[in-house]
Amino acid sequence: MLKSALHYSHDLLAQVVQPGNWVIDATVGNGHDTLFLAELVGKTGRVIGFDVQKIAIQRTTERLEDANLSQRCALHTKGHETIDELVPFEQLIHAAVFNLGYLPNSDKEVITQAQTTLTALKAIMKRLAPGGRIVVVVYYGHPGGLEEKNHVQQFAETLPQSDYNVLQYGFINQKNNPPYLLCIEKKRTKNAR
């Protein structure tokens, strides 16, 4: 069976994340991606996680502690637009993941926003290692979701082909605005930092 956008996101991340890498979970949510990334980076790597909701950080902390992986992670109860403040510019990031929309089983009024998502994407791209990937799972079937989808899609479509590969993956015959995935991969070029 074909994988959902969410499940395929893990394949794309696992292909590039190595032990010792630094990675970002830009929307911690319930901690599934954070835990997955913590396993990939190993004992010497680092996962930096962001979420504006305390309940998300709490659930993720519990998930990481249960797996004995919390020491590999730094979680921030802040929006992902604060990456420039919290991640040193010189620190290479090998992967990042976003799940746009709202935290499942919580307040559906608290959603990711186009402006902050684009700010975070740009901050990560300045630090993205050659061959690194940013995976964005786009949920847009909620109020405000279509606006964010359109802005993020337009941003991804305008990235220069000489520097980035951009993949779009998703089902086109499903009802109710199925989520889809965008993957931004930084090309390995002579001028890459």
- Distance from C-alpha of 16 to C-alpha of 119, rounded to nearest angstrom: 23
Give the pLDDT band (50/70/90) at residue 193. low
Give pLDDT, residue 192: 56
Average pLDDT, the chain: 94
In this prediction, residues 5-11 reach a mean pLDDT of 95
Q: What is the pTM of this model?
A: 0.95
- What domains appear along the chain, each with residue ranges and CATH number? 5-186 (3.40.50.150)
Q: pLDDT digit string (tens) for 172-186?
A: 999 989 999 999 999
Q: How far apart are the C-alpha atoms of 131 and 189, rounded to whole Å? A: 9
* pLDDT value, residue 103: 79
What pLDDT score was predicted for residue 123? 98
**pLDDT per position as a tens digit, 15-29:** 999 999 999 999 999
The DSSP letter of residue 132 is: E
Q: Whose structure tokens read 């319930």?
A: 30
Mean pLDDT over 78-101 rounds to 96
Task: Show the tokens assigned to 188.
Answer: 């390995």
Helices (H) and strands (E) in the chain, counts: 6, 7
Nearest in space to 28 (alpha carbons), one of 68, 67, 78:
78
Closest by alpha carbon to 70, among 59, 83, 61? 61
Given the DSSP bridges, would you call strands 46-50 and 164-169 parallel, antiparallel or unpaired? unpaired
36, two tokens:
């997955």
Helix ranges (H only) for 27-113 are 32-41, 54-66, 83-86
